[in-house]
Each structure stands twice: as C-alpha cells, then as structure tokens.
Amino acid sequence: MSRPDNGLPEDIREHMRLMCDIVALGFQTDKTRVATLLLCRDLSGLFYPFLNVRTAHHPSSHDDQSDAYERVTRYYVSQLAYLASRLDAMPEGEHSVLDHSCLLFISNLWSGTRHDSSKVPVLLVGGLGGALQTGRVLDYHDKGDDNRKLCSLYLSLLDRMDVQLDRFGDAATRLVAL
C-alpha cells in the first residue's frame, strides 16, 4: 500500500476509504483486533453530491423510504464491503484475516421517519476464527424484548472471544442461536 498524502483528504470518499484501510492495516499487522469506525454521526450534515443526493444525511434519513436515502445507505454498506474485502484478501495461516475477525455493522434506528429504534439492523461479517456460523439471517423481532437485547449480542460475541462477563449493559443473557 502506498503512503497516503499528509493531512485529511478533502473528499469524504477518500477519507472513509483511508479510515477503512487503517483498520485493515491494524488487523493485518496484529497491532489491534478491536476497532470502532464511525463513518458518520447520526445528526450529520454531510452531503453526497457524488450520489446525486441533494439533501444532507440527517434530513435524508427522515424520508427513509426515499431513493436518496437508499443511495446513502448503499454507499455506507459499500464501505463495509470494502473493509471486508480488504480483510478477506489478507492471508492469515490457512484462512484470511476476515475469517478470524468479526465486523459488526449497525444503525441506531430502524426508521428515521418515525425515529423508531424498537429494532435495529445488525450485520455481522467474518467467522471469528470459526466461532460464528456464517451465511444465516437471524430474526429476533418476535422473541420479546428480553430475548433480543443488543447487549445480549455483545455478551454472545464476548463469549466467543473468550471474554467471560456475567452481564453487559442491560443484559445478563446471551442471544439464543447466535
């Protein structure tokens, strides 16, 4: 990988790619295996002229059924795909860095139009060293609030990383079938 120019990129697309590259480099060199990557705040005023979207991110989210907001959402998911493909291309033993990692992609709302966070989309990518069964869709919507807490997901993931906690946040149980 060539060294990027000094300073922050002016183009948000270059900046986001650089942030993904930094995470990938940290994982590849085993400097870290834990990273948080916030590409955009939920109250963001970012504009996306390269997506032909005329409204800022936050106002676009208030019309979450619109074509403009779908384009913004697809762009962010493409950044996850970029990071995952970078990790998948990095050999680690007989597998890849992605096979030994877990990327968690999440939104803080289900519907920006209604400010509804009663359920949120969560996407896990990577096998966590074989600890995660991949290629599935798990729907916890009808399991009841006590059986679908996000902190229960975190507990389940921590278990698979050999970090044992009795509770995390508002959860003391793990997600069933994760």
Rounded to 5 degrees, φ, ψ at 49 are -65, -30
pLDDT digits (tens, 9 = 90+) for 22-49: 999 999 999 998 999 998 877 788 889 9
Report the distance separating Cα 34 and Cα 95, nearest Å. Answer: 19
pLDDT at 76 over 90: yes
Q: What's the confidence (pLDDT) of residue 82?
A: 98
Which residues, at least 6 apart from 105, have a Cβ–Cβ distance to it below 8 Å? 77, 80, 122, 123, 124, 125
Report the distance separating Cα 30 and Cα 80, nearest Å. Answer: 20
Give percent of the chain with pLDDT exceeding 90: 63
For 140, what's the count of Cα atoms within 13 Å in the CB-facing half-sphere? Answer: 19
pTM for the model stands at 0.90
How many C-beta atoms lie closer than 10 Å to residue 82's C-beta? Answer: 15
**Between residues 96 and 112, the one the model is more confident about:** 96
